[in-house]
Structure 1
Amino acid sequence: MLKLTLPEKDNSYKDLVEHPSVLRVLAFSGGYSRAEANGRLTRNNGVIASFSF
């Protein structure tokens, strides 16, 4: 599993998401508001959320 910050460019982690040795790519909210983080997450296929409060 990889836990990364939400990328600035949509689908930047595509190669990682599709790599056979990677189980999951999780994204930190990166200090964005929940609405902004959700929007960014929606635009990054195959990446799942890792929110902490």
Structure 2
Amino acid sequence: RDFPKGTDFNLIDEKQLLKLEHKLNNKPRKIIGYKTPKEVLEPELKNVA
């Protein structure tokens, strides 16, 4: 992982957190048919709005 267990995220700068967020949201996942979380979430958000 990018940060060890127990990391205080209040001490991590926003740029690093945004980089990690992008990495996690754009990583294909087997459980959702090798789509990325972003690909799955965006259409759902459009249905809600």
Which has the greater radius of gyration?
2
Query: Quick check: which one's strand share is greater?
Result: 1
Query: Quick check: which one's helix share is greater?
Result: 2
Larger RCO: 1 or 2 (CA < 8 Å, sep 6+):
1
TM-score normalised per structure 1: 0.30
